[in-house]
A = this chain, B = another copy of it.
């Protein structure tokens, strides 16, 4: 039976995950949803991140997907238990694959994690890494300006380098030899992060790690798959398309906007 794989992210960053999956699995049908109306997720509270993640997942589940990939680290760190409550299909998050790669790569047992406020506050990476190897020391740092920089297309200039240097300073002082890019937007800033961190630090990119993970799960290929792509966003399709072209090396794609309705009430407490 022909069923697509669903991927969601808070915005454009998850395309780095999409790209790796498409490269490894050219025959699979993929549906991508980017919540560009409500990006960024990183600074939001856990309740709000959970509510938004559930809505994104429900939209993809309506498209009859066979596997759900949570390409957003913030959602992965905070919303996973709630996502498992609404579906029985397999869910792949980005925390587990990234953590496994970090444990594989570190030689001195000192791993740095960078991510959004929501991801870092959750301690999801520390827990996952120390579950795999309790002797590894994990040092974390939230980098809240990286998502706006990536979404604005400021990927490689002196200002981005200065911001990266400011964020990474305390991790580098801890003598880390492995740095997890714990947000799917951060691979877009990889050149700058590489320059600041230096060649001796291994950069772990969850986008690459997740494709390996997915391979284990896809034991059999669906009949009738055509390698079709569908892209949905909740806002700003023009801007998304412009940045997506850069990330996806001018691949052509169909893009549709999903509209949202909301109502408000004052919380009782």
List chain A positions with a Cβ less than 8 A from chain B: 37-38, 43-45, 47-48, 51, 55, 58-59, 144-145, 148-149, 151-152, 154, 158-159, 162-163, 166, 232, 234-236, 239, 256-267
Which 3 A-B pairs have CB atoms at the shortest separation, nearest pair first? A148-B148, A262-B262, A259-B267
In the complex, chain B residues whose CB is within 8 Å of the CB of A145: 145, 148-149, 152, 154
In the complex, chain B residues whose CB is within 8 Å of the CB of A149: 145
Instruction: Knowing A55-B264, A262-B55, A264-B259 are in contact, say whether A166-B162 is a contact too (CB < 8 A).
Output: no
CB <8 Å contact, B152 and A163: no
CB <8 Å contact, A261 and B260: no
CB <8 Å contact, B43 and A151: yes
Q: Complex formed: what's the CA distance from A48 to B163 in Å?
A: 30
Q: DSSP majority for the A interface? A: mixed
Q: Can you spell out 17 A-B residue pairs with CB atoms less than 8 angstroms apart?
A: A37-B38, A38-B38, A44-B235, A44-B236, A45-B236, A51-B262, A58-B264, A144-B148, A145-B154, A148-B148, A159-B166, A232-B266, A258-B267, A259-B266, A259-B267, A260-B263, A260-B264
Q: Complex formed: what's the CA distance from A50 to B162 in Å?
A: 36
